[in-house]
Amino acid sequence: MCQTKEPEFVQCYELHMNNGEILRIIEDYDLPYEDGVIGDLKRGEKQFVEFSDILGSYTVPFDQISFIVMTDVIKNE
Eight-state DSSP code of residue 15:
E
pLDDT in tens, 2-61: 556 676 899 999 999 999 999 998 888 888 878 888 888 888 778 888 888 788 888 999
3-state SS, residue 18: coil
Return the amino acid letter for 31: L
The kind and range of the H/E element at 75 are: strand 65-75
Domains defined for the chain, CATH in brackets? 9-75 (2.30.30)
Name the pLDDT band for 76 (thresholds 50, 70, 90): confident
CB 41 within 8 A of CB 27: no
- The pLDDT of residue 55: 85
- At 14 the pLDDT is 94
